Structure 1
Amino acid sequence: MVGSHPAEGDFARLRAEFELPESFSADVLAEAERVAMDPPEPAAGREDATGLPLVTIDPPGAKDLDQAMVIESRGEGYRLHYAIADVGAFVAPDGPLDREARRRGQTLYLPDGNVPLHPPVLSEGAASLLPGEVRCAVLWTIDIDSGGEPVATRVRRALVRSTEQFDYDGVQTAIEQGNPHPSIAALPALGRLRRELAVHRGALELQLPEQTVGGDAGDGWVLGMRPRHDVEAWNAEMSLLTGMVAARMMIDAEVGVLRTLPDADDDSVLWLRRSAQALGIDWPERISVAELLAGLDPALPESMALYTCSTRLLRGAGYTAFEGGLPPSTTHAGLGAPYAHVTAPIRRLVDRFATEVCLAVSADKPVPDWVRAALPELPVLMSASDTLAARVERGCIGQVEAWMLAERIGGTFEAVVLRAEEARAEILVEDPPVMAKCAGANLPEGERITVRLTAVDVEKRKVSFERA
Structure 2
Amino acid sequence: MHPDAAKSSGGDFAAVRAEFGLPDGFPPDVLAEAEAVAGDPADLPGGREDATDLPLVTIDPPGAKDLDQAVCVERARVGFRVHYAIADLASFLPPRGAIDREARRRGQTLYLPDSNIPLHPPELSEGAASLLPGEVRPAVLWTIELDSGGEPTDVRVRRALVRSGARFDYDTVQAALDAGTPHPAVAALPEVGRLRRELAVRRGAVEPQLPEQEVAAGPDGGWLLARRPRNDVEAWNAEISLLTGMAAAGIMLEAGVGVLRTLPDAGPEAVAGLRRSAHSLGIDWPDGYDVAELLAGLDPDRPESLALYADVTRLLRGAGYTAFDGTVPEPATHAGIGGPYAHVTAPIRRLVDRFGTEVCLAVTAGRAVPEWVRAALVELPELMNASDTLAARVAKACLDQVEAWLLAERIGDTFDAVVLRADANRAEVLIHHPPVIAKCAGGDVREGARIRVRLTAVDVARRKVAFERV
Q: TM-score, normalised by structure 1?
A: 0.98
> Distance in 2 between the 1:99 and 1:233 partners?
34
> Distance in 2 between the 1:370 and 1:467 partners?
57
Aligned to 1:161: 163
> Distance in 1 between the 2:181 and 2:219 partners?
34
Runs of 4+ off more than 3 Å:
41-45
> Distance in 2 between the 1:398 and 1:4 partners?
14
User: Which amino acid is the alignment partner of residue 407 of structure 2?
Assistant: L
- The worse-fitting range, judged by mean Cα deviation, of 213-222 and 306-315 is 213-222
CA contact (8 A) 1:258 1:319 kept: yes
C-alpha displacement at 1:40, in angstroms? 2.7
Runs (5+) with no aligned partner, structure 1: none
- The worse-fitting range, judged by mean Cα deviation, of 44-53 and 286-295 is 44-53
CA contact (8 A) 1:41 1:90 kept: no
Q: 1:117-266 maps to which residues of 2 (within 5 A)?
A: 117-216=119-218, 218-266=220-268
Aligned to 2:422: 420
User: Which amino acid is the alignment partner of residue 161 of structure 1?
Assistant: R
C-alpha displacement at 1:135, in angstroms? 0.1
> Distance in 1 between the 2:221 and 2:246 partners?
44
C-alpha displacement at 1:419, in angstroms? 1.2
SS at match of 1:345: coil
For residue 372 of structure 1, the aligned residue among 369, 374, 391 is 374
For residue 3 of structure 1, the aligned residue among 1, 6, 10 is 6
> Distance in 1 between the 2:123 and 2:26 partners?
12
SS at match of 2:24: coil
User: Which amino acid is the alignment partner of residue 6 of structure 2?
Assistant: G
Aligned to 2:308: 306
User: Which amino acid is the alignment partner of residue 446 of structure 1?
Assistant: G
SS at match of 2:175: helix
> Distance in 2 between the 1:357 and 1:32 partners?
24
User: Percent same amino acid among aligned pairs?
Assistant: 69
- The Cα offsets for residues 55-109 of structure 1, whole Å up to 9 and x where unpaired, read as 1110001000000011110123001010000001001110000000000000000
C-alpha displacement at 1:217, in angstroms? 5.7
Aligned to 2:85: 83
- The worse-fitting range, judged by mean Cα deviation, of 209-218 and 169-178 is 209-218
Runs (5+) with no aligned partner, structure 2: none
> Distance in 2 between the 1:40 and 1:76 partners?
37
User: Which amino acid is the alignment partner of residue 406 of structure 2?
Assistant: M
CA contact (8 A) 2:144 2:156 kept: yes
> Distance in 2 between the 1:402 and 1:216 partners?
16
CA contact (8 A) 2:7 2:218 kept: no
CA contact (8 A) 1:72 1:80 kept: yes
For residue 53 of structure 1, the aligned residue among 33, 52, 55 is 55
For residue 316 of structure 1, the aligned residue among 310, 315, 318 is 318
CA contact (8 A) 1:275 1:306 kept: yes
Aligned to 1:435: 437
C-alpha displacement at 1:237, in angstroms? 0.3
SS at match of 1:129: coil
For residue 343 of structure 1, the aligned residue among 332, 342, 345 is 345
> Distance in 2 between the 1:327 and 1:360 partners?
20
CA contact (8 A) 1:105 1:349 kept: yes
User: Which amino acid is the alignment partner of residue 412 of structure 2?
Assistant: G
C-alpha displacement at 1:285, in angstroms? 2.3
> Distance in 2 between the 1:12 and 1:407 partners?
22
C-alpha displacement at 1:41, in angstroms? 3.3
Count of residue pairs brought into register by the alignment: 467
SS at match of 2:285: coil
- The worse-fitting range, judged by mean Cα deviation, of 436-445 and 356-365 is 436-445
Aligned to 1:22: 24
Q: TM-score, normalised by structure 2?
A: 0.98
CA contact (8 A) 1:208 1:227 kept: no
C-alpha displacement at 1:303, in angstroms? 0.8
Aligned to 2:453: 451
> Distance in 1 between the 2:289 and 2:274 partners?
13
CA contact (8 A) 2:333 2:339 kept: yes
SS at match of 2:132: coil
- The worse-fitting range, judged by mean Cα deviation, of 25-34 and 44-53 is 44-53
- The Cα offsets for residues 296-332 of structure 1, whole Å up to 9 and x where unpaired, read as 0111111111111100110000000000111121010
> Distance in 2 between the 1:159 and 1:3 partners?
44
CA contact (8 A) 1:207 1:228 kept: no
- The Cα offsets for residues 237-275 of structure 1, whole Å up to 9 and x where unpaired, read as 000000000000000000000000001011110110111
> Distance in 1 between the 2:218 and 2:176 partners?
29
> Distance in 2 between the 1:421 and 1:136 partners?
54
| 1:284 paired to 2:280 | no
- The Cα offsets for residues 363-397 of structure 1, whole Å up to 9 and x where unpaired, read as 00000000000000000000000000000000000
> Distance in 2 between the 1:335 and 1:193 partners?
15
Q: 1:96-135 maps to which residues of 2 (within 5 A)?
A: 96-135=98-137
User: Which amino acid is the alignment partner of residue 287 of structure 1?
Assistant: Y
